[in-house]
Chains A and B, each alone.
Chain A
Amino acid sequence: MRKQLLTCRPAHPIGVEELLALAEREVDPREPAALLALAEPLYGLAGDPALMQTCINHSLAHWRQGSSHFYSSQSCHIASRGVFAIRINLWPLLPADPRRRAILADVLSYFDYHDHNFSFITANYFGPGYATEMYSYQRGDTAVYPGKAVDLVYHGRHTLDANTVLLYEQYRDIHMQLPPARLSASLNLMMTPPDAGLTDQFYFDIKAGRVRDYVASASHKRVNALGFARHFHDGQTLALLQEILETHPCSRTRVEAARVLVDGVVGAVRSCAMSMLPVAWLLIAEVRKNLLLAVRYPLQPLCGIAVLLGIFAAVALGAARMPSLALFEGGDNRVLVASFVCWMVAIGAIGHVPGELEDDIKAGLLEPVFLSRHPVGVVLLARAMAGSALGVLFCFGMLAGLAAWSGAGVRLGWSAVLALVLLELALGGIGLATAGIVILCKRAAGFAPLVQLGLAVLIARGVSTVTSDTMLHFPIASAIEVFGRALFGTPLPAMATVAATAWALATLGASWLALALCVRQARRSGSLAHY
């Protein structure tokens, strides 16, 4: 705050337009303190009673058009040019009625310490003028918010009497007005830089040395408007919020934009999680059912495993053209291990779904699969994953034992997991397609073991290339090769991994399509009506 005392008005006071032109000419908007150079011309203008009278008459004459200089209950706009504006502020007495007294005191900021988001000089226009307690602080570039501690400097009590011109600097001076003894008015020359309306004014708790609250202003409306974006938003809204977050001069607005964005992201994640929840529960239900059946009737899965191991030994090892003796005595044990894992995954992913569907058909339990909220493919994929999960769990237990027994250096890093996922996708896809054929033609259920047998050959071929540089061009074999190499830490070109991923996804996509076509045809042909 700066203060200038003037004792006599100039003989030839300048007019409103002249003062504004002078301000534009003389004052650098980046130097608010320079406003004080215009104290004398403003003081001269404050001696013109016609200023207020003209505004009052204009408002009375144009009330039908709603045209008025009085833009608030306190302020009368006189004129403006560029970043400068002239206004008259009224400072009425407070009414005796406590309710009205409180409302008016709030509107006029009587007794409330506040700062400004624009700079101005002010002169007494009439009446004894208000008294004011002055402080200052440094806002700087840091964000200001309610509750923030600030360093306050006291500048004393002053009265805007007939000889005084005061300067209030934006983001620096804090003051509160005390009601004058009689109705008074002040004449202000304000400098409102372009972003003045985009930044905040604050109330202060002087005793606590803290920012108390926002002054109700445009930022209230902005924040409220941003609040609507929390409920109604699209891609463009989010991009605009991001821009506001990065560029808006008002920290409160930036914070609100960030909140809305975070809420949007959290909401999207929650919504996605909630939509996935029934699928997760479906998967859990399938695993639980398999576990219950395995625990309650253990003989069946054990017999199944024994048969699988027998088939594996006969087909996989034979197709790999490796003498079994060599495998265990100085031969390449990795082939055995990789083949074993791949085979177990294949059985789980491919055999489980068609097998279960066949059982469902026999037991008359096919309808629930088709009356689910989930697409048929999702239900069957959950079954495939549940089947494979148990297969993989069993398989890794066996793997550990086999590795210890055969001395193979098995590594289970992220690439092995990736390869397993690829295998699961590709093989699970084939399982879905097979299931589609079973749905369409019940007798095709007997066809599933043949698919598994074919896969055994492919697996053996795929695994046999683990140690060579040859890349197989079959989707399954490619995935198996990636898995085999990952399992033993053999370097694999990035392209080979990409190719295996592409093969796996293509297999899954093609199989999903085949399943959809089979289900559609089954609904048409009545395969779901007669079985």
Chain B
Amino acid sequence: MTHPLQLSGVGKTFARREPGVVENATLALAAGACTAMMGENGSGKTTLLRLACGLVSPDSGTVRVFGRDPVLDGAVRGRLAAVFDGARALHGRLTPAENAVYFARVKGCNGGAALHRFGALARRFQIGRFEHVPVRRLSRGTQQKFALAAALATGAELWLFDEPTLGMDAAGLEIFHDIVRSHLAAGGAVLMATHDEVFARRLGGIVRLTGAPQAALRLQL
């Protein structure tokens, strides 16, 4: 069976003399599943996300997205969307709608379809009226929502989020929860790093990273 995301014995060290950030991590994320990674700062959550989408190459082990290496396979990169820092994921001088089209084109997606999906997501987040306001004039939470909407508008099946709820109000949180639920029901998969345990519990399983790299990190979902 081909999982949306599969990490096998992945290890990563950034400096030779430092301990490994991730050691022997094994993870299989099934379609329709949402998994939240929780742990202390520096426990390797973000590095795991970056490994998962091919931004960082593992020192050992393999990373497979839909059975393919995301570093080498452009088509498979098109099937994932990642938001690492919502407040810094859009061009501040462009409007959210312009950003959505631009990043869809950079990703290699259909800009028109992406704009349509983006508009629907913006309306769902109840921020449609800010679509044509330069991003830098928007609040932190609104920027976060637009960043999520722009990334998800590409129609990706695997979503990777780093602190997706940061700065988001309660209503936005609820809407985002519904959006993720809909995505999972449609067969999508979500892996996120978060400190919001309540939000994580409502969406699916939680994996706690110990932050003790000496102990082999093994995640089997």
Contacts and interface: CB of A to CB of B under 8 A. Distances in A.
Given A363-B88, A523-B71, A285 B105 contact: yes
A299 interface: no
B53 A364 contact: no
Contacts of A288: 102
B29 interface: no
B108 A372 contact: yes
B103 A529 contact: no
Given A289-B94, A529-B14, A374 B108 contact: yes
Contacts of A292: 94, 98
A372 B93 contact: no
Interface in A287-302: 288-289, 292-293, 296-297
Interface string A269-295: 000000000100110110011001100
A525 B134 CA distance: 35
Nearest to B94: A292
Contact of B93 (A293, A375, A530): A293
Interface in A515-529: 520, 523-526, 528-529
A288 B88 CA distance: 21
Interface stretch (B73-81, B122-130, B198-206): B73-81
Majority SS at the chain A contact face: helix
A53 B106 CA distance: 81
A364 B77 contact: no
A370 interface: yes
A368 interface: yes
B107 interface: yes
B91 interface: yes
B193 interface: no
B32 interface: no
B103 A523 contact: no
A297 B93 contact: yes
A281 B111 contact: yes
Nearest to A284: B105
Query: What interface size band does chain B fall in?
Result: 35 or more
Contact of A368 (B56, B103, B134): B103
B101 interface: yes
B105 A282 contact: yes
A285 B106 CA distance: 8
Contacts of A281: 105, 111
B39 interface: no
A282 B46 contact: no
B46 A369 contact: no
Contact of A528 (B56, B75, B81): B56
Contacts of A373: 74-75, 77-78, 107-109
Given A282-B106, A297-B93, A526-B14, A367 B55 contact: yes
B85 interface: yes
Contacts of A375: 74
A371 B77 contact: yes
Interface in B21-49: 46-47
A528 B111 contact: no
Nearest to B98: A292
A379 interface: yes
Contacts of A526: 12, 14, 47, 56
Contacts of A285: 101-102, 105-106, 111
Give the top 6 A-B pairs by smallest Cβ distance, nearest first. A364-B88, A373-B108, A285-B105, A373-B78, A523-B57, A373-B74
Interface of A: 278, 281-282, 284-285, 288-289, 292-293, 296-297, 363-365, 367-375, 379, 520, 523-526, 528-530
